[in-house]
Amino acid sequence: MSTPTSSTQRSASLSTELADDVLVVTIDQPGSAVNTLSPALAGEFESVFIRVDEDPLINGVVLISGKPDGFIAGADIDQFPQLKSADKAERISKMGQDLLNRLQKLRAPVVVAIHGACLGGGLELSLACRYRVATDHPKTTFALPEVQLGLIPGMGGTQRLPRQVGLQAALDMILTGRNVRGKKALQIGLVNELVHPSILCEIAIDRARSLTSRDKQQASHLVRTSVPRGPVSALLESNSLGRGVVFKKARESVLEKTHGHFPAPLAALEAVQAGYAHGMTQGLATEARLFGEMAMTDVSRQLVFLFFASNSLKKDPGVPAPAPEAQKVLTLGVLGAGFMGAGIASIAIQQGTSTRLKDTDTARLAKGFSSIRNVLQERVVRKQITKRQLDDVMTLVGGTTNYSGFASADLVIEAVFEDLGLKHQVLAEVEPRMDTAAVYASNTSTIPIGRIAEVAKHPERVLGMHFFSPVHKMPLLEVIVTPKTAPEATVTAVAYGKRLGKTVIVVNDGPGFYTTRTLSAYMNEAGRMLEEGASIEVIDKALVEFGFPVGPITLLDEVGIDVGGKVQQVLSEAFGARMAASDAMRLVVLAGRTGRKGGKGFYLYDEDGSKGNVDQTIYEMIGGQRREFPPDEIVQRCVLALVNEAARCLEEGILRSARDGDLGAVFGIGFPPFLGGPFRYIDSVGVARVVEQLEELNVRFPPRFAPADILVEMAGQRRTFY
């Protein structure tokens, strides 16, 4: 039997300290910014559990993290690629479940003290504790993000969460991986109490003592047994018939959203359902079995790949070693207060960057300010920030029509109309006013940065920062460098992009860079099929069913048909017949339709901008007869056009790596994440098979589908991208 002591005892990640009769267990994984759960940590927990069960002087336990801003970020994902069989993955899940069952049954009650992200296995561990105290800090968030990796919670989450917060609230978290903040967590009964971070440990110790107190009444006050739910929810969830309705609706909603491409949410539903139908033991067994099965799916492998790839990109400064130090961006200048300029300013000020916005007149500036306020207002409505924080953040942005204040900018981002002459004019105007160390970035979506930089006195400080719309939602930033761009400028743009919360890929300069170029090849093919007689809805539906978030023609309406027309012009000048616009597209551009923003595109739009049916007059405009078009052909032609263009970008050195190409396509242009990206897709179909398909198509549509040299070469050598 171990002797209780007030001195700290430490194993690799756990240290324990006695506060009288309460054992405080601190989790602090050495050498890592966050705590993760691993078999090694499970072993350490087991030793603590033995001590607690054997030591009669320990009457309560508090679990707390030693990290300043994180509780437990989930299971250690590094172990996943090593899970080579469903059986092995199932065993790992069972081990985790056993550990938490053991925790739940400890002789002394366990109170968990949560500050920072409490995710996946971290939340499952918390659910096995008797009482949960969390901080009311914005960094404290709860989620079961397993489905985002193609998995399901595997440590009892599918069983304990519904029992704790009710079926509907639990499904909402399990099926989406959604983050829940402190207040909401308290509301749904996920935590028992919210406190200020400064008293977290103290309160947790106090609660552990109260729970052990012989005064049963006091203890029962502390632990809430039933979850506060509305009368309708309570009624629905209290009987198997009502729950049947909830499960059916959840299943339908999953299928509608995923088009059947993601098996994990359905597996999670099955595990939850098994728990309700046959009890906890059977529920846990089903959960472990399905966890094992999910870990072996291609979808999970691709999503785990994307997770690792994004992480490796986070550590990538954007230039080869040794990378120079990035310059801090304290003040930002933005040229153009339009759609993109205002979007960029809205995320910059939220990171505390003092921002100057320049446009040609005050009316346009005012419009820009109002767009920025709208972005922030959306966050107020979602209760992510307070009205007061909105007002504070708005004080960070100022407007000008004459470049005043631009001398102090560390970075200037240009987002004026897509017109080379205008881009030259503003660069020439602002450059002499800028600090000699400041970086100049264009947000152009197509024009080569080298062309824009032709008028610069210091082309070494010019690069592209290509944001996607809407800027505050889209995760990608494509940084474009020319042969003249200095590494100092690149690392500054990359570091600032990361600060803005973006996934940043660095690409070399060229018309359309990477994302616009591949997306255009894909959209252009859709235009060709429209010309050949395919209907608009049939094209869009085929690609949505394939896994894109919206179809290519809807996307063109969103981006703006006028914008698409300009892009096409630049790209067809650069790449000739391969990228030449279809007559159908040319006619719609000429007709002056702009898409959703103008209320009329390929589809009709309500006054509030919501999309209606296809505008049938489009067919008169483009001529020709509509005919049956096989969805398989639509998918094959659009997707192969895209992946072939991606391969060319790698071959030409526009892309630094296949990894960047995959992340860029998934996060920037909506390539289906469960396929991992264009290069992962080529690998899984087989390089030789892709070449064969391209050659077949190229016989019908020369020269658009001529396979990229790199593909032909790799097929000959039986090489793969990964």
Which C-beta is closer to ligand NAI: that of 270 or that of 557? 557
| Residues 579/545, Cβ–Cβ less than 8 Å | no
| Residues 479/464, Cβ–Cβ less than 8 Å | yes
Rounded distance, CA 504 to CA 496, Å?
10
| Residues 375/472, Cβ–Cβ less than 8 Å | yes
Q: Please identify which residue in 415, 465, 561, 666 interacts with ligand NAI, judged by CB under 6 A.
A: 415
Q: Please identify which residue in 417, 624, 653, 716 interacts with ligand NAI, judged by CB under 6 A.
A: 417
Choices 55-63, 317-325, 332-340, 574-582 (CB under 6 A): range interacting with ligand NAI: 332-340
Q: Please identify which residue in 529, 559, 570, 715 interacts with ligand NAI, judged by CB under 6 A.
A: 559
Q: Please identify which residue in 83, 337, 349, 463 interacts with ligand NAI, judged by CB under 6 A.
A: 337
Does 701 interact with ligand NAI (rule: CB under 6 A)? no
DSSP bridge partners of 293: none
Does 445 interact with ligand NAI (rule: CB under 6 A)? yes
CA distance from start to end of the chain: 53
Does 359 interact with ligand NAI (rule: CB under 6 A)? yes
Does 339 interact with ligand NAI (rule: CB under 6 A)? yes
Closest C-alpha to 478, from 451, 517, 436: 517
Does 444 interact with ligand NAI (rule: CB under 6 A)? yes
Give me 142's structure tokens.
Answer: 């709860």
Does 340 interact with ligand NAI (rule: CB under 6 A)? yes
Which C-beta is closer to ligand NAI: that of 301 or that of 600? 600
Does 656 interact with ligand NAI (rule: CB under 6 A)? no
Phi, psi of 142 (to 5 degrees): -125, 140
Active site residue 478: yes
Closest C-alpha to 345, from 397, 418, 410, 408: 397
Closest C-alpha to 512, from 582, 438, 573: 573
The maximal CA–CA distance of the chain, rounded, in angstroms, is: 88
Rounded distance, CA 11 to CA 1, Å?
18
Does 422 interact with ligand NAI (rule: CB under 6 A)? yes
- Interface of this chain with ligand NAI, residues 13 to 52, rule: CB under 6 A: none
Does 502 interact with ligand NAI (rule: CB under 6 A)? no
Closest C-alpha to 624, from 703, 521, 524, 536: 536
Rounded distance, CA 506 to CA 520, Å?
19
Which C-beta is closer to ligand NAI: that of 579 or that of 697? 579
Q: Please identify which residue in 35, 140, 443, 508 interacts with ligand NAI, judged by CB under 6 A.
A: 443
| Residues 582/527, Cβ–Cβ less than 8 Å | yes
Q: CB atoms < 10 A from the CB of 587, how many?
A: 16
Rounded distance, CA 289 to CA 292, Å?
5
| Residues 201/142, Cβ–Cβ less than 8 Å | no
> H or E stretch including 167?
helix 167-176
Q: Please identify which residue in 182, 341, 664, 673 interacts with ligand NAI, judged by CB under 6 A.
A: 341
- Amino acid symbol at 507: V
Which C-beta is closer to ligand NAI: that of 416 or that of 580? 416
- Minimum Å gap between C-beta 515 and ligand NAI is 9
What angle in degrees, to the nearest 10, is found between the helix axes of 687-700 and 709-716? Answer: 130
Which C-beta is closer to ligand NAI: that of 476 or that of 634? 476
- Amino acid symbol at 475: P
Contacts with ligand NAI by CB under 6 A: the residue count is: 25
Which C-beta is closer to ligand NAI: that of 286 or that of 482? 482
- Minimum Å gap between C-beta 451 and ligand NAI is 13
Does 338 interact with ligand NAI (rule: CB under 6 A)? yes
Give me 366's structure tokens.
Answer: 């005012």
- SS in 3 state form for 444-505? CCCCCHHHHHHHCCCHHHEEEEEECCCCCCCCEEEEEECCCCCHHHHHHHHHHHHHCCCEEE
Does 515 interact with ligand NAI (rule: CB under 6 A)? no
- Minimum Å gap between C-beta 608 and ligand NAI is 19
Choices 10-18, 200-208, 303-311, 413-421 (CB under 6 A): range interacting with ligand NAI: 413-421
- Binding mask of the shown chain, residues 465 to 484, with x at each position contacting ligand NAI by CB under 6 A: --xxx---------------
Does 358 interact with ligand NAI (rule: CB under 6 A)? yes
| Residues 168/246, Cβ–Cβ less than 8 Å | yes
Which C-beta is closer to ligand NAI: that of 543 or that of 556? 556
Phi, psi of 226 (to 5 degrees): -105, 150
- Minimum Å gap between C-beta 458 and ligand NAI is 20
- Minimum Å gap between C-beta 470 and ligand NAI is 8
Of these residues, 478, 488, 525, 645, which one is catalytic?
478
Rounded distance, CA 282 to CA 214, Å?
34
Rounded distance, CA 99 to CA 49, Å?
9
- Strand, coil or helix: what is 15? strand
CA dihedral 303, 307, 309, 310 (to 10 degrees): 130
Which C-beta is closer to ligand NAI: that of 339 or that of 629? 339
DSSP bridge partners of 604: 600
Q: Please identify which residue in 161, 284, 303, 416 interacts with ligand NAI, judged by CB under 6 A.
A: 416
- Minimum Å gap between C-beta 340 and ligand NAI is 3
Rounded distance, CA 688 to CA 704, Å?
18
By residue count, the chain amounts to 722
- Interface of this chain with ligand NAI, residues 114 to 153, rule: CB under 6 A: none
CA-derived radius of gyration, the chain: 28
- Interface of this chain with ligand NAI, residues 563 to 622, rule: CB under 6 A: 563
Q: Which residue is nearest to ligand NAI (CB)?
A: 338
Closest C-alpha to 672, from 565, 545, 583, 506: 545
Does 161 interact with ligand NAI (rule: CB under 6 A)? no
Residue 617 CB-half CA count within 13 A: 6
Does 418 interact with ligand NAI (rule: CB under 6 A)? yes
- Minimum Å gap between C-beta 517 and ligand NAI is 13
- Minimum Å gap between C-beta 120 and ligand NAI is 34
- Minimum Å gap between C-beta 357 and ligand NAI is 9
- Interface of this chain with ligand NAI, residues 228 to 257, rule: CB under 6 A: none
Which C-beta is closer to ligand NAI: that of 277 or that of 366? 366
- Binding mask of the shown chain, residues 283 to 322, with x at each position contacting ligand NAI by CB under 6 A: ----------------------------------------
- Minimum Å gap between C-beta 169 and ligand NAI is 36
Which C-beta is closer to ligand NAI: that of 417 or that of 722? 417
Q: CB atoms < 10 A from the CB of 488, how many?
A: 18
Does 396 interact with ligand NAI (rule: CB under 6 A)? no
Choices 331-339, 454-462, 492-500, 533-541 (CB under 6 A): range interacting with ligand NAI: 331-339
Which residues are the active-site residues?
A: 478
Chain residues binding ligand NAI by CB under 6 A are: 335-341, 358-360, 364, 415-418, 422, 426, 443-445, 467-469, 559, 563
